[in-house]
Each structure stands twice: as C-alpha cells, then as structure tokens.
Amino acid sequence: MRPQPYRLQRVRHETYDTFTLELEGADGRGGSFAPGQFNMVYLLGVGEVPISISGDPARPGSLVHTIRAVGTVTKPMVRLKRGDMLGVRGPFGSSWPVEEAKGRDAVILAGGIGLAPLRPALYHLLSHRDDYRRVVLLYGARTPDDLLYTDELEEWRSRFDVEVGVTVDAASGNWKGNVGVVTTLIPWARFEPSEAVAMVCGPEVMMRFTVQALQEKGMTADNIFVSMERNMKCGVGFCGHCQWGPTFICKDGPVFRCDRMELFLWKREI
C-alpha cells in the first residue's frame, strides 16, 4: 500500500492536454507489468490517481504513463520536470488477453486516451508477430490535434503486417484521413470475426457502441475484452470505491471479458 519513490526521467507532450511521463525507481527499479495493468500514481502533497501503464512490457527498465490533464491531481502534473519525484503503487489489476489471442486475429480498438492502456498490448503483439494471424489497430480521436503517439502511428502504418485505421470525429481542411466515429472503421477492417479477439478501451459510450458493432460483424461477447475506468481509492479491493455488486474493478478488472460485463457496460458512472 505504500507508494514507492520514482524519479521523472523524461516528459513528452503528446497533445495540448496529454503528456507521457517516463519514471525510474529511486533505487534504479523499473516496473515489470502485464499489458493493461495500472499503477496508483501519487503527486506528492496533492493526491493519488489510477493510471494505466503505457510503455513496452519488454522494456521494464522505465515505467511509462500517458496522462490527460483533467482535474485536481492530473492538471498540476503537467508542470512536472525531469528529476521531480512521484510515488507509485502497483502494478494492479487484470491484463489484456494477449495469450488467448495467440493463433487468432488480434483487433485493438481505441478511443482517445484509451490508446494508452492498449499500447503495451500492441507492442507485445508486434514483438511476437508470428504468434498471431492478422493484427488490426482501429483508433479514433475527437480531432487530429487529439491523436496520441502520432510518430508511432506512422511507423505502425508503414508496416505490412499490421492494418491501421485512424479516424477523427471532426476535422478542418488539412486533415486527409477518415472522419467519423471509430465504429465506422469496423465494417471495412480485415479480420475474421469467428477467429478474432478484440480489445477495446475508450470512453464508455465508445466502448458500448464498439461492442455492439463488433457483435453485428459476427463476434461473440466472450471474444471481446473491455477496460473499465471507475473511481478508485485503494486500488486493491479494500475500500469498495470501485465496487459493482460482487465485482471490484480494481482487482477483478480493469480488463474484463465482455460477456461478464455486458450489463455493467450499459450502466452509467457509479
């Protein structure tokens, strides 16, 4: 439960409100984790927030978090500089089904900041590329200025062994790509619904419609996984803050198989 001290090594500004922090343990410790897991990140004297790990699981030497500045804790984090200290507890929670997806089509669907928790899964799929059939990334953001990891998106697009679809909800004249919500990419994406595993993360409304669209394409709920974000305090199943019936999002999730969470997906924030 006690946060461990981590020192900030690098800050990268991804968009006008989103930044990536690379941290290293004060004792040189990095952070092994499974794709999809999160840490409780403590800004000293301000507060603690759950943040997914967005780095490469094969490079646990540094701990990487991509954070959108939305409120009390995350807004002051924008001002952090190299050398500043943060507290970290974790990693916590369940992970994306990269093992179950072996030998099948792996489809990643992200909305906005939802690409951050999915990036480690994509790194894993690409570094074990021969273990999977098709690998597909479908990513949507509000505007072109909201797109994360734009250099990497270009790099992934240039590969012949991964299909990348990017769309924005709204754009001005300079944007040459797709306009429309992420679900509009699903009918055109090349994967075999009966052979696919889908991993979905984004705002809850995006996840609801994405799950629906995947089912319309022929996927069953037991092959669709979603990551739920709910208010958390302890992160380890003690406080009940994230509890829904018998389920604790922090320790049973945040990644859930959709058939176990379908009802929950249709409930608003609790």
Ligand X SMILES: Cc1cc2nc3c(=O)[nH]c(=O)nc-3n(C[C@H](O)[C@H](O)[C@H](O)COP(=O)(O)OP(=O)(O)OC[C@H]3O[C@@H](n4cnc5c(N)ncnc54)[C@H](O)[C@@H]3O)c2cc1C
Binding site residues, ligand FES, CB under 6 A: 232-235, 237-243, 248, 250
CB of 57 to ligand FES, least distance (A): 23
Q: How far apart are CA 76 and CA 78, in angstroms?
A: 5
Tokens of 251: 């320790």
| Phi, psi for residue 260 in degrees, rounded to 5 | -90, -10
254 binds, options ligand X, ligand FES, none, Cβ within 5 to 8 A by partner type = ligand X
Binding of ligand X by 15 (CB under 6 A): no
171 binds, options ligand FES, ligand X, none, Cβ within 5 to 8 A by partner type = none
Q: Which is nearer to ligand X, 134 or 209 (CB)?
A: 209
Binding of ligand X by 57 (CB under 6 A): no
Q: Which is nearer to ligand X, 67 or 189 (CB)?
A: 67
Measuring CA to CA, which residue among 209, 245, 255, 211 is closest to residue 94? Answer: 255
Taking CB under 6 A as the criterion, which residues in 114-153 touch ligand X?
A: 116-117
Tokens of 166: 């990017």
Q: Which is nearer to ligand FES, 133 or 241 (CB)?
A: 241
**How many C-beta neighbours within 10 Å does residue 18 have?**
22
Would you give the end-to-end CA distance of the chain in angstroms? 24
Binding of ligand X by 202 (CB under 6 A): no
Binding of ligand X by 232 (CB under 6 A): yes
Tokens of 269: 């924030």
Measuring CA to CA, which residue among 253, 191, 122 is closest to residue 265? Answer: 253
Interaction site with ligand X (CB under 6 A): 38, 47, 49-52, 66-68, 70-74, 113, 116-117, 229-230, 232, 254
